Chain A
Amino acid sequence: GDSVIQMQGQVTLSENDFLFINCTYSTTGYPTLFWYVQYSGEGPQLLLQVTTANNKGSSRGFEATYDKGTTSFHLQKTSVQEIDSAVYYCAMSSGTGGYKVVFGSGTRLLVSP
């Protein structure tokens, strides 16, 4: 079945540092890949969606791309801020069975001022 692997459990940075989070995916379908962000006490909210390999999605200073050859996708931001502290989930939908989303295990980003 579909799966998403997110290895980095926690990332600790200082303000203005560069952020890079990577995930790998596995599917027999045609994936749409997402990054969701979850702030404390809230549900996840969509940050970025990437539907085409090697195309970039961008939002709020974050960028995401995916590589079909290595079945990997990543999230990056050039200069993080303290308000970016949250849990970031990579996720995938393969468009089968009602379009469920399969989530990675999440990366907790802590940004210190």
Chain B
Amino acid sequence: GPKVLQIPSHQIIDMGQMVTLNCDPVSNHLYFYWYKQILGQQMEFLVNFYNGKVMEKSKLFKDQFSVERPDGSYFTLKIQPTALEDSAVYFCASSPGDNYAEQFFGPGTRLTVL
């Protein structure tokens, strides 16, 4: 079936550094999402993105977070600067315009902030 790819699978950085998580969504999908899952906890919505704009963001989407998809390439989540509490697995998802409900998830990027 359709695949969402995420690069890298694991990233370790020092607190205060910048990190960019990359997502290669399913081609022709129009809606893009980021979710955060702290180890042992439930997956929580961060942000969704459509037509070049953020449509909705949660309280977890701090000012240090930003998303973009320049020229239809990777959909990225940037955190600058990172904090210890940003350590989690970040899942990217995409969905087609004609069935918003079915989201296809990537395998996740495990971010460890030291």
Size of the B side of the interface (Cβ < 8 Å), in residues, is 27
Contact between A99 and B31, CB atoms less than 8 A apart = yes
Contact between B102 and A105, CB atoms less than 8 A apart = no
Query: How distant is B28 from chain A, measured CB to nearest CB, in Å?
Result: 17
- Is B112's CB within 8 Å of the partner chain A? no
Which one, A14-22, A62-70, A71-79, A89-97, is touching chain B? Answer: A89-97
Interface set, chain A 25-73, CB cutoff 8 A to B: 32, 34, 36, 41-46, 49, 51
Query: 1/0 per position for B52-84, CB-CB distance to A under 8 A?
Result: 000110100000000000000000000000000
Return the contact of A32 from the options B33, B55, B101, B106 (Cβ within 8 A): B101
B-side contacts of A99, CB under 8 Å? 31, 48, 95, 100-101
Contact between B102 and A102, CB atoms less than 8 A apart = no
Query: How distant is B48 from chain A, measured CB to nearest CB, in Å?
Result: 4
Kindly state the interface size class of chain A when it binds its partner. 20 to 34
In the complex formed, the residue of B with least CB distance to A32 is: B101
A-side contacts of B93, CB under 8 Å? 43, 101
Query: How distant is B94 from chain A, measured CB to nearest CB, in Å?
Result: 11
B-side contacts of A51, CB under 8 Å? 101
Residues of A within 8 A of B (CB): 32, 34, 36, 41-46, 49, 51, 89, 93, 95, 97-106
Residues of B within 8 A of A (CB): 4, 31, 33, 35, 41-45, 48-50, 55-56, 58, 91, 93, 95, 100-108
